[in-house]
């Protein structure tokens, strides 16, 4: 059953007759025709014609059988010479013809249908199909139709593709001719493209569309479902489609395939150490002794907590990028170990009079290429004597002037890094504190032996 949604342009649904009916645009379109032309309603649209044009539609039943092609000329001549007589049932009409005296000769491709009447100053329009109420009295009545037409149940010639063809009769000096109207040039029968043919027309669609079941409307082709050519993601759009790529890929020049984006080439700041490109993504790597954190940065691994390979008599010291093993008893003769990492020279030993009273071993790690100047280590007296003066100095390990010792109080000093250091490298710096009493009768010293390990990287 038809519905209002199935009526083509120029038609509307008649709920009483339950069929599509033509819309009279001449009534509803204001000033449909310009320049003194008159509006003539037409199936699915309207025509603008000179005001002298006559519209002749014969609703009478035919009175005689369709003559053969040999008799078509006489019938047509009779129609042509009977102008003003109300028309007669002309069974044949030439597509075009000329005959002296105002007549015309029917061609082999005759067109049967409603009568036509000519006048020297008029256009005459023939509509096809004819009035659907015009039913032939003789069911066996046959007519001859031109190429592109066929006889309908109402005994009229209609386009094989059910077109709404129009013929205009134009008066010429000493003759007249019948012109087929290009249906594609009048109302918009087709949604997109109209192709005119003799006696008919058909519709075409632009690329990306296809004809609907009514052969007039164009509907979008979903290329993503029909023939997905995209390598990854396909998005259908009206009349076409576009391809998109997943994250980490970009469209190639053919706009169909996807190519991997080498993120490592686009920026040198993606990873703290090394960027590794992978299909559709990238990953970061860290050097030995470090682990990746937060996907991009490197963090030192404390091997002393994970893979301590030091001996029982050794202590493990972790630094940036590695670890080292140091003896638990670093004391050398004549020093003896009194506490962890603290060596004391016995007072009873005469040799100790010329040596520092104590040596304390300390270890620290700094990153490579650290900014300077930078305070890196503080030394402070553990025993304070009354009426004494303390002075601090770098006793050894600063031959190239990388460090500076700044006294911050009577009992403390700060080691300052004044030159940037590159690792991996180890520095052993002896920081000495000299203590004398105010009258000079007492003098002693102690050393803090600081081992500085510079890591191989700046992280």
**For residues 211-218, average pLDDT:** 92
Residue 299 has pLDDT above 80, yes or no: yes
Which range is least confidently modeled, 36-50, 255-269, 418-432?
Answer: 36-50
How many Cβ atoms are within 10 Å of 155's Cβ, its own excluded? 21
Distance of CA 348 to the CA centre of its chain: 87
SS3 call for 79 = helix
pLDDT band at 85 (very low <50, low <70, confident <90, very high): very low
Residue 268 has pLDDT above 80, yes or no: yes
Token digits of residue 49:
């014609």
Residue 328 has a pLDDT of: 96
Which range is least confidently modeled, 21-30, 38-47, 74-83, 290-299?
Answer: 74-83
Residues 100/104/105/109 CA torsion (nearest 10 deg):
150
Residue 369 has pLDDT above 80, yes or no: yes
Residue 277 has pLDDT above 90, yes or no: yes
**For residues 252-259, average pLDDT:** 97
**For residues 241-268, average pLDDT:** 96
Residue 144 has a pLDDT of: 55
Residue 95 has pLDDT above 50, yes or no: no
Residue 50 has a pLDDT of: 81
Residue 1 has pLDDT above 90, yes or no: no
pLDDT band at 177 (very low <50, low <70, confident <90, very high): low
pLDDT digits (tens, 9 = 90+) for 22-33: 899 899 988 889
Highest mean pLDDT among 37-46, 82-91, 176-185: 37-46
The phi, psi pair for 378, rounded to 5°, reads -115, 135
**Residue percentage of the chain with pLDDT more than 90:** 53
pLDDT band at 46 (very low <50, low <70, confident <90, very high): confident
SS3 call for 333 = coil
| Tally of CA atoms within 13 A in the half-sphere of 189 that contains its CB | 22
| pTM for this prediction | 0.54
Dist. CA 388–CA 382, nearest whole Å: 14
Mean pLDDT of the chain: 78
Which range is least confidently modeled, 79-88, 170-179, 249-258?
Answer: 79-88
> How does DSSP assign 166-226, residue by residue?
EEEEEEETTEEEEEE--GGGSS--SSSEEEEETTEEEEE--TTEEE-TTSS-EEE--HHHH
Residue 75 has a pLDDT of: 33
**All domains of the chain, ordered by start, with CATH?**
52-181 (no CATH), 223-260 (2.10.25.10), 263-300 (2.10.25.10), 314-454 (2.60.40.60)
Which range is least confidently modeled, 4-13, 113-122, 155-164, 358-367?
Answer: 113-122
> How does DSSP assign 101-146, residue by residue?
TS-----SS----S-----TT-EEEEESS--TT---SSTT------
**For residues 28-40, average pLDDT:** 86
Residue 165 has pLDDT above 80, yes or no: no
Residue 118 has pLDDT above 50, yes or no: no
Taking alpha carbons only, the member of 420, 314, 432, 427 closest to residue 365 is: 427
Highest mean pLDDT among 82-86, 274-278, 381-385, 442-446: 274-278
Which range is least confidently modeled, 30-34, 411-415, 429-433?
Answer: 30-34
**For residues 99-109, average pLDDT:** 29
């Amino acid at each position: 059953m038809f519905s209002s949604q199935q009526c083509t342009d120029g038609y509307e649904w008649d709920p009483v007759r339950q069929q599509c009916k033509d819309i009279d645009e001449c009534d509803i379109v204001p000033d449909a025709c310009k320049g003194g032309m008159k509006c003539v309603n037409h199936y699915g649209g309207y025509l603008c014609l000179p005001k002298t044009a006559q519209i002749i539609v014969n609703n009478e039943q035919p009175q005689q059988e369709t003559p053969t092609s040999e008799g078509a000329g006489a019938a047509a001549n009779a129609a042509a010479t009977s102008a003003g007589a109300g028309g007669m049932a002309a069974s044949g009409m030439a597509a075009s013809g000329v005959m002296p005296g105002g007549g015309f000769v029917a061609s082999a491709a005759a067109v049967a249908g409603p009568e036509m009447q000519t006048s020297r100053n008029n256009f005459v329009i023939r509509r096809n199909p004819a009035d659907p109420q015009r039913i032939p009295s003789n069911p066996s009545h046959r007519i001859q139709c031109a190429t592109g037409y066929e006889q309908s149940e109402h005994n009229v010639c209609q386009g094989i593709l059910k077109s709404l063809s129009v013929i205009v009769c134009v008066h010429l000096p000493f003759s007249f001719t019948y012109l087929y109207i290009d249906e594609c040039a009048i109302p918009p029968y087709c949604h997109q493209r109209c192709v005119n043919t003799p006696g008919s027309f058909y519709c075409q669609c632009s690329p990306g569309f296809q004809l609907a079941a009514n052969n007039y409307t164009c509907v979008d082709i979903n290329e993503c479902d029909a023939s997905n050519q995209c390598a990854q993601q396909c998005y259908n759009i009206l009349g076409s489609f576009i391809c998109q790529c997943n994250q980490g890929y970009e469209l190639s020049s053919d706009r169909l395939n996807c190519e991997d984006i080498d993120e490592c080439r686009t920026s040198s700041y993606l990873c703290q150490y090394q960027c590794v490109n992978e299909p559709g993504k990238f990953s970061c790597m860290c050097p030995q002794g470090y682990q990746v954190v937060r996907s991009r940065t490197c963090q030192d691994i404390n091997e002393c907590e994970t893979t301590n390979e030091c001996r029982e008599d050794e202590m493990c010291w972790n630094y940036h990028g590695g670890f080292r093993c140091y003896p638990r008893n670093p004391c050398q003769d004549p020093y003896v170990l009194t506490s962890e990492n603290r060596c004391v020279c016995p007072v009873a030993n005469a040799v100790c009079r010329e040596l520092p009273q104590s040596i304390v071993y300390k270890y620290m790690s700094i990153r490579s290429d650290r900014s300077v100047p930078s305070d890196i280590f503080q030394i402070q007296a553990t025993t304070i004597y009354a009426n004494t003066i303390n002075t601090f100095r770098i006793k050894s390990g600063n031959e190239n002037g990388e460090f500076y010792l700044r006294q911050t109080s009577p009992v403390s000093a700060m080691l300052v890094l004044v030159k940037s250091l590159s690792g991996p490298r180890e520095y052993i710096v002896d920081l000495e504190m000299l203590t004398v009493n105010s009258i000079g009768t007492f003098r002693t010293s102690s050393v803090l032996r600081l081992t500085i390990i510079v890591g191989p990287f700046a992280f």
